[in-house]
Chain A
Amino acid sequence: MKTPSRLSRSIHSLLLRLTQGPAAYAVAIVWLAIGVTLVYISPRSLIAFLIFLSSALLIYYLKLSNRAKLSLAILVTLVLLPVVGVRNIFYLEVAFQISVYAALALGLNIVVGFAGLLDLGYVAFYAVGAYLWAFFGSQQPSLLHAIPGTAPPGAYFLLPGNMFYLFVILGLAVGALTGIVLGLPVLRLRGDYLAIVTLGFGEVIRVLANNLDKPLNLTNGPQGITPIQRPTLPAPLLDAIRVVLDPLVGRRVTDAQFYNLFFYFAALVVVVIVITVARRLDDSKIGRAWTAIREDEVAAIAMGVPLVRMKLYAFAAGASFAGGMGVLFAASRTFVSPESFSFMQSIGVLSMVILGGIGSIPGVIVGAAVVIILNLQVLQGLSLFLSELRQSDAVIPIINFAWKDLSTQLDPAKYQRMLFGIILVVMMIYRPAGLIPAARRKSELMKEDSAELPDENGQVNDGTA
């Protein structure tokens, strides 16, 4: 450790040179081009897709001008991803889920990361939003007196599908309102007690969704509500887009695929809004008050920070995004059921926040992406790979183990939770502040390291170059 080898030093300096100045632009563009080409040529290859996605991370880390970063990000999210996504619709689904969960994680990050309030029932607000549109955007209002599961004739849609747009806004408001209603009695509690009560609240909402099929059939019980309307996409517009998109994709884009595109973009818009709101709130009197509360409640209140009101702000802001996202989710799936809002969902969103970096906006987004990709792609890819091996006659040479004897219990997708547990434990040991730590948290958790950051090194290199 004391004397780094010449090799590692030269690798280090090479990396520094590649991540700065004009070389960085070349690296970003080349990597992106490789990723896009690979995905375009072999739309089914998992590795190609991962290389493509990693370019987004690369753009974040390279020292590029902000304008270059922004335009590359726009290129990836608005042009490249939709095109490769339509070629393999599964990728678009992955990107959509990443966006949805990134927005949820960003919302939870306001509560947990900024204000330091541990909320274990966050998904309840998501459920409130989802059921809001599920009820008003389906035939459910006309089925209030029907027995759950039956579809009597004469059921009708109360509202047109285009009310969806209004309901996204309503979802934000209703989410915030639910946050305040729950927060008022609860936010006088601290730490563990708050966590327990929010956990209970999350379960209450799920159980309500499960049981509110009597006396009035509001939620249709465990079967869930379907079909839920989507907004209509105007055909002339679609045809206009097809003129450009069809040749890029290489075949005709179907209407169903346009819906995928639509919801992907809608989720993206919400993510951008959430990022803006979170950053602006953080950099204001409110954000400072949140940090102060997290650091020392007594000192904060003695300085005139109204604790309950500030905590309510955090709760309401976080909850509103979950509510809005819930409406989007309900419309995109055309189906909601209580299952989607289990405790594991809350934990999942929380682990995205922790994995990415509590309090760090880019970190939380990366956290969401990593968890979703692991879930939807890597683990399932591994499962698929193993089951292929199992069907083959392959044998592991030395120990003479035939793959077909491998137990079906050894399916990586079944070990999802265990893997997450392991990942979280390892993270807490080696990188407790998350993948991309927030500046503040980093300083909190890494006291000794702060003296020897490579900054100085980098500056010296800059000077001589």
Chain B
Amino acid sequence: MALLEAKHVTKRFGGLTAVSRMDFVLDEGRIVSIIGPNGAGKTTFFNSLTGIYRPEEGEIHFDGKALIGMRSDQIAARGIARTFQNIRLFGNMTVLENALVGMHTRLRQGMVQALSRSRAFREEEAEAKVQARKVMDFVGLAGVGDELARNLPYGLQRRVEVARALAAQPRLLLLDEPTAGMNPNETDEAVSLFRRVRDELGVTLLLIEHDMRVVMGISERITVMDYGEVIAEGLPAEIRKNPRVVEAYLGRGISEQAAA
């Protein structure tokens, strides 16, 4: 069964239909990209998935449960984590604290335990810190745990966002333009990190991405959006050749490259 299934999802802002009757299916364990020109509705779709927007029509099912009407935090607790197009870290918290906030839904402590400092509380806190450090090591943030997030260079901040999302132990990770603003070197590192996230942690990945090198290199399937609608879906090779996609998005230059 599909991990994520969206049917006829429609999101309007006043007269503007940002996402129009969108159908989308994502199987568990895949790496899938959504591409499309600016304003195609990709991020709006992400925000609909994560409960930041509430779509006017349609259904979204995650692991067989309906998501529409749930709050963002409830959706996050069900196992969908995300990063943001413009980095949204907790800048004045340390990297470790950022990861610990990511673990919020996984920690069972409540107010009473926090006040009583019970043994269970202290053990859970210690264990959470171990877990958070593991995640930070995994994404390549070893040794910067006590730095404030906003003091890190851009590339590392992107990693902190991924670490924070992974700390929630999600089943599905949504990455909104994760390599935007990176140099080719950083981009390559990011791509190999995303592969490891899927291969080693078994997390399903859904990306919004503009960098065609990344998209073609990592995606197992690609969905193309334009004007709020899905205009194509398929394997990277198929998308590359699809005339509608070429016309709407890739442009002539790239289609020539693809042909060569």
Contacts and interface: CB of A to CB of B under 8 A. Distances in A.
Interface stretch (A36-44, A125-133, A228-236, A288-296): A288-296
B100 interface: yes
Contact of B101 (A277, A289, A444): A289
Interface in A53-82: none
Interface string A276-310: 01001100111111011001101111111111000
Which of A284, A286, A289: most chain B CB closer than 10 A?
Answer: A284
Question: Dominant SS at the A interface?
Answer: helix
A303 B102 contact: yes
Contacts of A164: none
Interface residues of A, number: 28
A289 B52 contact: no
B246 interface: no
Interface stretch (B5-13, B82-90, B212-220): B82-90
A302 B52 contact: yes
A413 to B, nearest CB: 40
Given A289-B104, A291-B90, A307 B73 contact: yes
A443 B148 contact: yes
B191 interface: no
A304 B168 contact: yes
A384 to B, nearest CB: 45
Contact of A284 (B73, B74, B82, B109): B109
Interface in B214-260: none
B114 interface: yes
A68 to B, nearest CB: 24
Contacts of B81: 302-303
A12 interface: no
A315 to B, nearest CB: 13
A292 B90 CA distance: 6
Which of A281, A299, A302, A313: most chain B CB closer than 10 A?
Answer: A302
Interface stretch (B18-26, B57-65, B91-99, B195-203): B91-99
B50 interface: yes
B101 A305 contact: yes
Given A303-B102, A305-B104, A280 B117 contact: yes
B77 A304 contact: yes
A440 interface: yes
A273 to B, nearest CB: 10
B72 interface: yes
B111 interface: yes
A348 to B, nearest CB: 28
Interface in B122-170: 125, 148, 164-165, 168
Contacts of A304: 73, 76-77, 102, 104-105, 168
Given A288-B100, A291-B93, A307-B73, A302 B82 contact: yes
B90 A285 contact: no
Which of A277, A286, A444: most chain B CB closer than 10 A?
Answer: A286
A303 B114 contact: no
A289 B100 CA distance: 9
Contacts of A286: 111, 114
A288 B113 CA distance: 15
Given A286-B114, A304-B73, A443-B148, A298 B88 contact: yes
Nearest to A316: B111
A303 B80 CA distance: 9
Contact of A303 (B74, B92, B168): B168
A304 B167 CA distance: 11
A285 B113 CA distance: 10
A298 B73 CA distance: 10
A307 B92 CA distance: 19
A305 B114 CA distance: 16
Nearest to A301: B72
B115 interface: yes
A305 B73 contact: yes
A304 B82 CA distance: 11
A443 B81 CA distance: 29
B50 A302 contact: yes
B76 A303 contact: yes
B193 interface: no
Interface in B31-77: 50, 52, 71-74, 76-77
A298 B165 CA distance: 14
A299 B90 contact: yes
A305 B102 CA distance: 9
A354 to B, nearest CB: 18
Nearest to B98: A292
Contacts of A302: 50, 52, 72, 76, 81-82, 84
Contacts of A441: 92
B107 interface: yes
A291 B114 contact: no
Given A277-B115, A304-B76, A443 B92 contact: yes
Contacts of B89: 295-296, 299
Contacts of A444: 92
Contact of A281 (B76, B97, B111): B111
Given A288-B101, A292-B101, A299 B88 contact: yes
Contacts of B84: 298-299, 302
Contacts of B88: 296, 298-299
A441 B148 CA distance: 12
B104 A303 contact: yes
B41 to A, nearest CB: 19
A441 B71 CA distance: 30
A307 B76 CA distance: 13
Contacts of A280: 114-115, 117
A267 B44 CA distance: 53
Contacts of B50: 302
A305 to B, nearest CB: 5
B105 A295 contact: no
Nearest to B165: A303
Nearest to A450: B151
Given A291-B93, A298-B88, A303-B81, A285 B107 contact: yes
A280 B116 CA distance: 8
Given A280-B117, A299-B90, A313-B111, 9 more contacts: A281-B114, A288-B104, A298-B84, A299-B88, A301-B72, A302-B52, A302-B76, A302-B82, A305-B73
6 contacts: A287-B114, A288-B93, A301-B52, A303-B168, A304-B168, A305-B104
Nearest first, the 8 A-B pairs at minimum CB distance are A304-B76, A284-B114, A304-B105, A299-B88, A295-B90, A301-B72, A306-B73, A292-B101
